[in-house]
Chains A and B, each alone.
Chain A
Amino acid sequence: MFVVESSLAPATRPDRDDLAVDRVPDDGTGTVDQVQGAVLAPGPGRWASLPRWVGRTAVPYLYLAPAIALLVIFTYRPLVQAFELSTYSWNLLPSSPMKPVGTGNYERLLDLPAFRDSLWRTVVLIVGLIPFTVLLPAALALAGRRVSPRARTVYQAFIFTPFLVAPVAAAAVWRWLLHPGGGAVDQVLRSDRNWVYDTDTAQGVIIVITGWQLLGFAVLVVWAGLAGISPDYDEAARVDGASPGQIRRWITLPLLAPTLMFLILTTVLLTPTLTFPLIDSMTQGGPSQSTTNIYYLLWDYAFHSFDAGLSAAAGVLLFLGFGAVAGLLVWISERLSFHDD
């Protein structure tokens, strides 16, 4: 789905982790097997019961088997195959032969202006989403601290709802709102602009709809991040004579930085999932490619141009780029995070 189990999470909320430890007293006998080992300490008879020992060792793997099998079949096998496929020329028809072309697909891809353009559009898309997934949520969460919990819950409920709207339904209602002439937006603005089919605004429309869907989730995450910051810091600063503005700028925001970095990472990782249905059902990458980002380009090469090799090559580059960006963000956020334990 949409979320990351990231190594940032523990660093994000050090005091939260302490809480978890408080709740679950961990005395070092953390696992069942260790507990059992203490009770039935295997003596010299251990080798006699070798089959039983093997049986017991196999148990965790048996529990994991279905999940691992699916993981390998539907994620890691295809990933390896994508590397392989990227060195062939093939039109997806089972009957037609696959021609090995070496690095031909990559050379072709890097020469294509469409590829470079789509990469640039992906960057614009992600940067355009940051206000919705980081800046506005931070402002809203800080504002949420000044209102009563009851009011906050009500606001939160409304802001979160778009996250649950089916993506195609979101595309449908926004197309209706933005319908040239008759839609609510144009009627209010007294314009007949065709927002969705205008090369100047189409990408902006995709950004706004995606931002609308993600905003509520991001606010929840920032809110939880704020709740994890111990009020002791604020109190200490207040005692030292800091103003509320100073506390926000020099205490709260730095402590919140890992959460905000986590949101940037989430934005990067979620864009392929969230924008695809919108683009596929609203613009099909148009008008004149203005909404074709790298994720849609892959789809286009595979299922519209039937160029499997080219799509796989773009997929491989995307995967490597994705890994590099995610690694960089994790690295930055680890440097940013503040350990108070």
Chain B
Amino acid sequence: MTIDRLRGLGSHLLLAGTALLCAFPIYWLFATSLRRPSDVMSLSPIPWPLSVDNYTDAARKVDVAQLIANTFAVALLSASAQLLIALLASYAFAMYTFPLQRVLYLGFVGIWLVPFQVTMLPNYVLLNRLGLIDTLVGVALPTLCSALAVLLMRQHMAAFPKELVAAAKIDGRSSWSILWTVVVPNLRPALAALAILLFINSWNEYFWPAVVMRRSNGVLQLGLRSFMGTEGDDWGPMMALAGLACLPVLVLYLLLQRHIVNAFVRSGLK
């Protein structure tokens, strides 16, 4: 009994210690951003008195509102297109059998074996030819087909009760109308979870913006990078901008924690 309790205590210590270490940098980011500019170097664990000077300072140096709007637009466009395209593709994979099915499916799985650093040059050349360099569309376009979304959606579709679909078919409905009136309404929770996951990924996307936005810093991630370069050690405003770059995702996480965790676990295991 005592040994068991000791083991339990040790487990708590290990988990709590790791949890604290993991959360500390995030806490420190927001704590620093909320200190008065003269207190930035302070080590006191609680930022007091609070101040938003760092945020107003950051807003003076970069067009924060524009960066947030751009990032939001790209993430929204990219996530909704990924969801729609994946919905259609997974519908085909889960509800039909057709020649080349296995090959095409492996084509999606195979994406994981191609690091983006390998394909970036030809894609850069293509985007350049299309005149999409330094545009937000150019940032979103290469990401519109998400293999992850296709594979996850297929899992959900495969588990969808086939009787419902068959019944609708007997009623004489087309496959297109079955998709939107039978399948989608029933998969709403799964679609919502996937949408959030895709939005978070797009929001945090760094690579394509870095390739495409060669001359401007149109999205938050790049704005923050150039801020790190030019403003050197101006830690207060930098933490304010970094805080803004994480805030939407962290708020989503706070509100929908269980769903987000489940979505990520599913994505890792299936």
Contacts and interface: CB of A to CB of B under 8 A. Distances in A.
A315 B121 contact: yes
Contacts of B55: none
Nearest to B268: A221
B118 A319 contact: yes
Nearest to A34: B97
B203 to A, nearest CB: 7
B51 interface: no
Contacts of A286: none
B22 A70 contact: no
Contact of B119 (A70, A79, A323): A79
A221 B270 CA distance: 11
Contact of B92 (A61, A159, A170, A311): A61
A308 B188 CA distance: 45
Given A78-B122, A179-B235, A319-B115, A20 B220 contact: no
B113 A326 contact: yes
B181 interface: no
B237 to A, nearest CB: 11
B218 to A, nearest CB: 14
A308 B144 CA distance: 25
B116 A67 contact: no
B65 interface: no
B28 A35 contact: no
A47 interface: no
A3 interface: yes
Nearest to B115: A272
A173 B239 contact: yes
B128 interface: yes
Q: Main SS of chain A's interface residues?
A: helix
A266 B120 CA distance: 21
Interface in B222-270: 222, 224-225, 228, 233, 235, 238-239, 241-243, 245-246, 249-250, 253, 257, 260-261, 264-265, 267-270
A298 interface: yes
Size bracket, chain A contacts: 35 or more
B9 to A, nearest CB: 9
Contact of B145 (A67, A171, A316): A67
B18 A172 contact: no
B11 A166 contact: no
Given A71-B145, A311-B121, A217 B257 contact: no
A31 B95 contact: yes
B15 interface: yes
Contacts of A32: 95-96, 162, 165-166, 169, 175
B26 A162 contact: yes
A64 B87 CA distance: 9
B102 to A, nearest CB: 12
B228 A281 contact: yes
A57 interface: yes
Contacts of B101: 60
A224 B269 contact: yes
B48 interface: no
A135 B247 CA distance: 30
5 contacts: A1-B267, A70-B85, A172-B238, A176-B239, A322-B113
Given A66-B145, A166-B204, A182-B235, 17 more contacts: A12-B269, A29-B166, A60-B92, A63-B92, A68-B104, A70-B144, A82-B119, A155-B16, A159-B22, A161-B22, A167-B206, A169-B246, A176-B29, A217-B268, A273-B207, A281-B224, A315-B117
Interface of B: 7-8, 10-12, 14-16, 18-20, 22-23, 25-26, 28-29, 32, 41, 43, 85-86, 88-89, 91-93, 95-98, 101, 104, 107-109, 111-126, 128-129, 141-142, 144-148, 150-151, 158-159, 161-162, 165-166, 169-170, 175, 200-201, 203-204, 206-207, 210-211, 214, 220-222, 224-225, 228, 233, 235, 238-239, 241-243, 245-246, 249-250, 253, 257, 260-261, 264-265, 267-270
